[in-house]
């Protein structure tokens, strides 16, 4: 278990899947957790209940669109004002609209950029000031194996995730002098609601690409995020931690 006692964390896209698992993992370490969600209130309330049961010092929901810079700034400001600081930011919220380049609509390209890349930018920008002022903090961005190796039909998604790696490394250099660390976690194929809907034949084909011969779990990713967010990784910044079963090395 990682120790987050006395720490305040904000996790985006926390209502389901990887985001929910991350919020629960931080709660196990006694963090105070703000769970962001976009619209699924039922799932968000379920996640909040799990976080409270896991042992969070405090927990609450925050509904806002990460693609809205003003809303991100308000969310961070409200967290700092209410709970006295922000020590951990996890940029997990993301969407994928899969389509071949020639058929990809401009609005689908722009929306993925807005949520996956600009969303992280907005929140990092908002969180930088309070973290620098308190001379400490950890930001973890969720990128993807697709951002490193590409994937047919996911040009927009891959571009946003590759961009997030560059953003991570650049901001890590900017904030290091104030003891604010910025890292990324790059999951591979993870067993979530999205992959659960795939045909068994498709899952089997995916597993053929993975040396460990299985899909990862949301908890596998959550533990990697918690490590980077914790003081155990106090000398780690600007890194991309791959959680992909060896699919991309």
Mean pLDDT of 5-20: 98
Residues spanned by the domain of 216: 8-241
* 235 flagged as catalytic: no
Provide the pLDDT for residue 202.
76
Please state the domain count of the chain. Answer: 1
Is pLDDT at 14 greater than 90 in this prediction? yes
Q: 19 lies in a domain?
A: yes
CATH code where residue 48 lies: 3.40.50.720
pTM across the whole model: 0.97
Provide the pLDDT for residue 192.
85
Is pLDDT at 199 greater than 80 in this prediction? no
Instruction: Catalytic residue, from 157, 189, 235, 248: name it.
Output: 157
Q: 213 lies in a domain?
A: yes
Q: Can you tell me the distance from the alpha carbon of 197 to that of 225, in angstroms, rounded to the nearest whole number? A: 25
Give the pLDDT confidence of 112-130 residue by residue, as tens digits. 999 999 999 999 999 999 9
Which residue has better confidence, 106 or 200? Answer: 106
């Amino acid at each position: 278990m990682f120790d987050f006692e006395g720490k305040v964390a904000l996790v985006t896209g926390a209502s389901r899947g990887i985001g929910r698992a991350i919020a629960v993992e931080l709660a196990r370490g006694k963090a105070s957790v703000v769970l962001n969600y976009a619209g699924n209130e039922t799932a968000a309330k379920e996640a909040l209940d799990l976080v409270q049961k896991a042992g969070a010092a405090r927990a609450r929901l925050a509904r806002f669109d990460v693609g809205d810079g003003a809303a991100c700034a308000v969310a961070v400001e409200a967290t700092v004002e209410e709970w006295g600081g922000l020590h951990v930011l996890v940029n997990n919220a993301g969407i994928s609209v899969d389509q071949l380049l020639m058929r990809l609509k401009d609005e689908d390209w722009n929306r993925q950029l807005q949520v996956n890349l600009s969303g992280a930018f907005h929140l990092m920008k908002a969180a930088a000031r309070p973290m620098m002022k308190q001379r400490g903090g950890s930001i973890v961005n969720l990128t993807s194996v697709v951002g490193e190796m590409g994937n047919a039909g996911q040009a927009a998604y891959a571009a946003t995730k590759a961009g997030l790696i560059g953003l991570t490394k650049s901001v890590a250099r900017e904030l290091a002098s104030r003891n604010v660390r910025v890292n990324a976690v790059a999951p591979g194929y993870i067993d979530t609601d999205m992959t659960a809907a795939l045909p068994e034949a498709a899952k089997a084909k995916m597993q053929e690409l993975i040396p460990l011969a299985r899909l990862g779990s949301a908890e596998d990713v959550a533990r990697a995020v918690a490590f980077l967010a914790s003081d155990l990784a106090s000398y780690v910044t600007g890194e991309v931690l791959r959680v992909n079963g060896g699919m991309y090395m």
